[in-house]
Amino acid sequence: MKLFFKVIWENKEMVEDGLPHLIYLSREKRPKQPHHFKAGAMNVLTRVSGLITNAPFMLNVDCDMFVNNPKIAQHAMCILLDSKGEKEVAFVQCPQQFYATLKDDPFGNQLVILYKYLGAGLAGLQGTFYCGTNCFHRRKVMYGLSSDDMENGLNKLSDEELKQISGASNELRKSIVHALKGKTNSPSDINVKKGIEEANQVACYGYEYGTAWGKQIGWMYGSIAEDVLTGLKMHEKGWRSEFCTPDLVAFTGCAPSDNITSMSQQKRWATGLLEVFFSKHCPIFGTIFAKLSFREFLAYMWIINWGFNPFAQVCYSCLIAYCIITNSYFLPKDQGIYIPITIVVIYNIYTLYEYLASDMTIRAWWNSQRMSIITPMNAGFCGFITMLLKLLGISNTVFDITKKDLLLYNNDKDDKNVGRHTFDESLIFLPGTTVLLMQLTAILIKLLGFQKQGLRGDYECGMVEMLCSFYLIICYWPFLRGLFETGKYGIPLSTICKGGTLTCLFIFLCRRTIST
């Protein structure tokens, strides 16, 4: 795809030093050559905008989001231009909120509670994470400025050193120096025609080779979760971030319209977070060798745990089925069983309170709890396997683009298909199908009395293990329904056969542990 510019200029005078209403840029890409996906696109836009306006602040909004609060820029500037914020705040993040959503969020992808409580909690630390959209950035921070180097920044570098960092464009280097000094362009400094001519150079394929773009300046490369990585690098340089939540919602957009799109997105997040952990950008190094505060480090490790959590969930689900099949147990007996039961009850009561306090329904809470099991075990586990294959050098990660739908959902009660789960032949549904078949088979073995006596007489599957299995089956109700449906609402036969084969292998191995 070749480089393409489109300028929409509606002012009658058509003066060259005025700012047009819209400049559209399609960057250059070449087959089998890395273009770094969204991070690469954002770096191209940063360079082009630096040549045309060199504005001190940049707003990053995804194509499926729009400005809902016309004064949000003023709210953000109150933070960024504050005497304290000018020295400490790198970016202002607004939460992702959605319109035309399905009632009670059946796919659990609106993340209302996550933004409400996590955002408020991180605000008391070094600041919230960068979420990839709805964010106001300080340009000079994107150019590598540290919080301890506000006066000199990269200006202490020679022109040759700055050239190695930012590239061969003389005009771009000038704009970077001006941005680091805090200089803003006046209307007479803006020449769009000249800027576009120079932009062809900085936006073309190969401009970044041999430079520090994506390594020291701009959006960071090295993970398909470029947003978390970029925000992490800013926090490591000593900057803070702020969470902006005005009364009138700042930005609204469309949540993924089905579970397939949602799981594809979650798989990319899990893979990208693991890429951050298994790289030189790991938050552990940021705490030891840079300026990432310890509590902010814990917050980053918590969100990176999204990538490891699916492996643990799949292992526990297999352990439940194993205990039932082998007539054994893994939970404590007698009075000790009340400890995990108490923890589970307290957790569910508290999460339910969070939803009710946010004017959400019990059904929305249940949908969220159910999807917090389904999504990690399917999308998250596939992301974990993808990262494992990358570490072994077998394959590389792929940036799966989230489908952007601008749909107005019809919540008509007569429409029985609203909010129903759909399936395809993607491997993303294989882990969940296998887990469901394991639980159903284990329950069937228990009910039919096909369990074998364990190695010791005190081995006995308890009711708690059975209840855990039943709970998993209830959570996987959409998959259970999909076993008997056809078309897009049914699990493909190929996926069922693969899941059945893995289940048979699992049962065989369980039996072998008893016989040996």
List, as residue ranges, the binding site for Mn(2+): 38, 62
Say whether 298 sits in a helix, a strand or coil. Answer: helix
Query: What is the rounded CA–CA span in Å between residue 91 and residue 358?
Result: 27
Query: What is the rounded CA–CA span in Å between residue 23 and residue 195?
Result: 11
Residue 138: name the closest of 169, 203, 93 by CA: 93
Angle at 116 between CA 111 and CA 121, to 5 degrees: 120
Alpha helices in 448-492 (DSSP H): 463-475, 477-482
Query: Tokens 């030189």, residue?
Result: 280
Q: Are 137 and 60 in contact (CB under 8 A)?
A: yes
Residue type, 504: C
Query: What is the rounded CA–CA span in Å between residue 316 and residue 431?
Result: 13
Residue positions in the annotated binding site?
A: 38, 62
CB burial string 401-418: b at 16+ within 10 A, e below: eeeeeeeebeeeeeeeee
Q: Are 192 and 19 in contact (CB under 8 A)?
A: yes
Which residues are registered as beta bridge partners of 241? Answer: 91
Reading the block at residue 41, the tokens are 């696109």
Q: Is 9 exposed, middle or buried (0-12, 13-18, 19+ CB in 10 A)?
A: middle
Residue type, 32: K
DSSP tag of 181: T
Residue 429: name the closest of 266, 306, 308 by CA: 266
Query: What is the rounded CA–CA span in Å between residue 75 and residue 69?
Result: 10
Provide DSSP, 67-115.
E--TTHHHHHHHHHTSTTHHHHEEEEE---EESSPPTT-TT--S-HHII
Which residues are registered as beta bridge partners of 242? Answer: 92
C-alpha radius of gyration, the chain, whole number: 26
Provide DSSP, 172-186.
HHHHHHHHHTT----
Residue 242 belongs to what H/E stretch? strand 240-243
Query: What is the rounded CA–CA span in Å between residue 433 and residue 482?
Result: 9
**Backbone region of residue 218 per phi and psi (left: phi > 0; alpha: psi in -120 to 50; beta: other values):** left
Q: Are 35 and 29 in contact (CB under 8 A)?
A: yes
Q: Is 435 exposed, middle or buried (0-12, 13-18, 19+ CB in 10 A)?
A: buried
Residue type, 376: P
